[in-house]
Amino acid sequence: MTPRGILARQAPAKVNLALAVGPPESPGGMHPIASWMAPIGWCDTLTMQRLDDGESNRIEVICAPDAPRPIEIDWPIYDDLAVRAVRAMEEAAGRRLPIALRIEKRIPAGAGLGGGSSDAAQALLMLRELYELDINDKRLAAIAQTLGSDVPFFLGSGPALVTGLGDRIERTPPISGGARLVVFAPDFGCATGAVYRAFDATGGAGWFEQERVASMARSGVIDDSALFNDLAGPAESVAPSLAETRARIEAAASVRTHVTGSGSAFFVVCPDAAEAGRVQESARRFAGPIAGVVVGWAQ
């Protein structure tokens, strides 16, 4: 790799096809999870260029021109998770790693789609490659875990059973069949912390169904009627508009919808691209301004 090397990578979103949440490990602590997670073909784009030693980092985060809906970049740039990943790698390397980084956002924030986590994971991988850093996969995963519970998942490819605090990743079979998703991302987000507090208030962690999730994930077969998310109800209590929006979509398209992560995005599983198109069109025509994005699986 030349000193002025440039890399461009896609950072995919994810959906939680199934998500079970356990009680916090200590008062005020993190919740263990068991989730069947799959990357999807809705991606941000990262472009990273290695700069000469002594140069300052140049960071740009923008809404991609082809984003399905406008994304307001309303957070301080140095609070962006990918930028924090750069700082974490510099700390691990014990030196500065000057780069120019451009992030073109298509995945909305606060939607449970993991866009920020995916960007951070790609930033870690790209920095390691550009600078030929002596950081093995295990150490890279440990760095990723310090950034957020979803980040380690995005260091690899394909679906996975994700357990613990997001640190245990078991890659699972590809999703069987030709299923497509229609993913709906409302123009409001759900604050993850508030959703978990609402979950705790329900006492829901008394039924931590880890084995149910593991069985589904290891099969690679989607049974739409069996998918579940322990955070769906709490997310709707935090953002009542989520329940209203899902109800409109379900009535318009005669389908089941499933919340991903802590919301606010939700998805419909379709057996093929034709059905996905029908669902998208029905939602567009009869359920108001929110339109779904048809995606397949990112491998």
Q: Hey, what are 167's tokens?
A: 């640190």
Determine the pLDDT at residue 35. 98
Beta bridge partners of 162: 35, 169
Residues in Cβ contact with 278 at an 8 Å cutoff, skipping those fewer than 6 apart: 253
Measured CA to CA, the distance from residue 62 to residue 246 in angstroms comes to 29
Residue 105 designated active-site: no
Beta bridge partners of 170: 161
Measured CA to CA, the distance from residue 46 to residue 67 in angstroms comes to 14
Measured CA to CA, the distance from residue 268 to residue 109 in angstroms comes to 20
The secondary structure of 149-183 as a DSSP string is TTTGGGGS-S-EEEEETTTEEEE-PPPPTT-EEEE
Determine the pLDDT at residue 208. 87
Of 14, 44, 119, 230, which one is the catalytic site residue?
14
- Domain residue limits, the chain: 6-171, 180-295
Of 80, 119, 150, 230, which one is the catalytic site residue?
150
Q: Hey, what are 44's tokens?
A: 């941000």
For 26-59, letters b (16+ CB in 10 Å) and e give eeeeebbbbbbbbbbbbbbbbebbbbeeeeebeb
**CATH topology (fold) of 180-295:** Alpha-Beta Plaits (3.30.70)
The neighbour count for residue 272, using CB atoms within 10 Å, is 11
pTM of the model: 0.94
Determine the pLDDT at residue 26. 67
Measured CA to CA, the distance from residue 265 to residue 245 in angstroms comes to 10
Determine the pLDDT at residue 23. 87
CATH number of this structure's domain 6-171, picked from the four choices 3.30.230.10, 3.30.43.10, 3.20.20.70, 3.40.50.720: 3.30.230.10
Determine the pLDDT at residue 28. 64
Nearest to 107 by CA among 157, 58, 59, 66: 66
pLDDT along the chain (299 residues), means of 10: 75 98 80 96 97 95 92 89 97 97 95 97 98 97 96 97 95 92 94 93 79 96 96 96 96 97 97 95 86 87
Residue 150 designated active-site: yes
Whether residue 107 contacts residue 66, with contact meaning beta carbons closer than 8 Å, is answered with no
- Which regions of the chain does DSSP assign to beta strands (E)? 6-21, 33-50, 58-63, 99-105, 160-164, 168-171, 180-184, 258-259, 266-270, 293-295
Asked, colleague to colleague, whether 6-171 and 180-295 share their fold, the answer is no
Determine the pLDDT at residue 195. 95
